[in-house]
Structures are given as structure tokens and as C-alpha cells.
Amino acid sequence: MKRKHKQMIIIWVGLLAGILLFRGGWMTYAGLGIFLLDLGLVWLLLRCPHCGKPVRELRPDKTCPYCGKKVE
């Protein structure tokens, strides 16, 4: 899966969590659960496929700052 697709999944899950957090009642707990799921997705999906370290920002030439290999 391309990095752009992973980022879009994380953004949409975070948006859903934000909407549910502000609805009130039991929906707040559902939103909090989805927010924690979103944090897990950030940790799981935004990693370098070569060295496995978390990569939140790429270099301008789209390479990993740790191993220097190209990331999609």
C-alpha cells in the first residue's frame, strides 16, 4: 500500500473519532476507542519497509532518514 493511501486511512479514521468524541453520551467512548485505534494505525502503518523504524517525515528525495533507502 502506498504511503499516500496509508495517510488517507489515518486521516479518515481520526476524523471519525473526532466526530464521535463531540457527540456526547456513549458515543464519546466509541470515539475515544476509535482515536486509540488511529494512534495504533499511525504506529503500524507509517514505518519504513526496509529498516522498520517509524518514519513521520521523509527527506525531499523520499528516502528514509535512518537507512537512506527509497520509500514509496
CA distance 62 to 60: 5
CA angle (55 as vertex; 48, 37 as ends), nearest 5? 95
Q: Where in the sequence is the domain holding 10, given as residue range(s)? A: 1-72
| Count of domains forming the chain | 1
Per-residue buried b or exposed e for 43-65, using 16+ beta carbons within 10 Å of the residue's own CB: eeebbbeeeeeebeeeeeeebbe
Per-residue confidence in pLDDT tens, the chain, 72 aa: 777 788 788 888 888 888 887 777 887 888 888 888 888 888 787 788 888 888 777 667 778 888 888 877
Evaluate if pTM is beyond 0.75: no
